[in-house]
C-alpha cells in the first residue's frame, strides 16, 4: 500500500528532476570542466553521486514513512498530575476534538483533508512526496531538504566553475550558451527555494521545539533520516515544568 504513493505525477516529477540534474551535472558539466577521467573529475563525480544518493534515499523515506495517525482510543489527560494549577487549567481549556474523525486531537495534531485523517504533529501535506509531513517522517523531510539544498548548491558551483574556465570566444553555438544560462538559472532558483525552505524549518525547530526532539540525542545519527528510535508516541510533549 505504501508503495502506491510513488504512483503520483508530482513524485515522478521529482524523480525525473533528480535524474536530469544528476546526468547534466556529471556527464556534461564535470566532463566539460575537468573531465570525468581525471582524478579531480572522478572525486567530484563520487562526491556528487553520494550526495544525490542521500537525497534519493531521504526522499523515498519521506514517501514511504507513515507520518503517524491519532489512535481512536486516545483520550487526553485533563487531570494534570504534578502540573501547576494554571497549566492544568490551560490544558483543560484547550481540549480539541476533530469534527470529522469524532476523536480528540493531541497537541500539534491536525486533520488532513487529503489523507482524511488526523496526523500526529502535522506540519503540512506535501504534494511532492504525496504524503503528510508529520511526527514520524518530519526528520526525514528535514534531512531531505538539507541534502537537497547542499546538492543543489554543489551542482551550481560546478556549473559556475565550468563557465569561468570555458573559452567563450566562439561563434555559431548559441544553443550551447542558452543551455548554460538555463541550467544556471534553474540551479540558482532551486538552491534559493530549497535554502529558504531549509532556513524556515530551522527557524521552526529552534522556536517550536528543541533540536534534540527532532534529530535525536546522538549527533552521530542526526543526518540519518531513519534514525527515529528516540521518538515516543507523538501525543505528549515536554513542557517547561518537565525540566
Picking from 122, 92, 102, the residue whose alpha carbon sits closest to that of residue 110 is 122
Residues 189, 131, 14: CA angle, nearest 5 degrees? 35
Question: Are the C-beta atoms of 142 and 205 separated by less than 8 Å?
Answer: yes
Q: Which of 2, 17, 1, 20 is nearest to 128 (CA)?
A: 17
Give me 230's grid cell: 528516540
Nearest by Cα to 26 from 191, 210, 183: 183
**Catalytically annotated residue among 102, 126, 132, 162:** 126
Residue matched to cell numbers 476533530: 98
How many angstroms separate the Cα of 32 from the Cα of each of 36, 164, 182, 183, 227?
9, 12, 16, 14, 39
- The answer to whether 62 is a known catalytic residue is no
Helical axes 138-165 vs 174-208, angle rounded to 10°: 150
State the catalytic residues: 126
Amino acid at each position: 500500500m505504501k508503495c502506491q504513493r510513488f504512483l503520483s505525477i508530482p513524485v515522478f516529477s521529482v524523480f525525473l528532476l533528480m535524474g536530469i540534474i544528476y546526468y547534466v551535472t556529471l556527464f556534461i558539466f564535470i566532463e566539460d570542466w575537468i573531465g570525468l577521467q581525471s582524478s579531480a573529475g572522478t572525486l567530484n563525480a563520487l562526491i556528487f553521486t553520494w550526495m544525490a544518493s542521500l537525497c534519493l534515499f531521504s526522499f523515498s523515506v519521506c514517501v514511504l514513512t507513515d507520518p503517524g495517525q491519532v489512535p481512536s482510543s486516545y483520550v487526553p489527560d485533563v487531570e494534570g498530575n504534578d502540573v501547576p494549577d494554571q497549566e492544568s487549567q490551560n490544558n483543560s481549556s484547550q481540549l480539541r476534538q476533530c469534527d470529522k474523525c469524532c476523536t480528540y486531537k493531541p497537541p500539534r495534531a491536525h486533520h488532513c483533508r487529503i489523507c482524511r485523517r488526523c496526523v500526529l504533529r502535522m506540519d503540512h501535506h506535501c504534494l511532492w512526496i504525496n504524503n503528510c509531513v508529520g511526527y514520524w517522517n518530519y526528520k526525514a523531510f528535514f534531512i531531505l531538504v538539507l541534502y537537497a539544498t547542499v546538492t543543489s548548491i554543489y551542482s551550481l558551483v560546478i556549473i559556475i566553475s565550468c563557465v569561468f574556465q570555458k573559452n567563450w570566444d566562439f561563434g555559431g553555438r548559441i544553443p550551447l550558451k542558452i543551455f548554460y544560462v538555463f541550467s544556471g538559472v534553474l540551479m540558482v532558483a532551486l538552491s534559493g527555494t530549497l535554502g529558504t525552505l531549509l532556513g524556515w524549518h530551522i527557524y521552526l525547530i529552534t522556536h517550536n521545539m528543541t533540536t534534540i526532539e527532532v534529530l535525536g540525542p546522538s549527533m552521530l545519527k542526526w543526518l540519518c533520516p531513519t534514525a527515529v528510535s528516540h521518538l515516543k508516541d507523538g501525543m505528549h510533549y515536554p513542557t517547561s515544568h518537565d525540566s
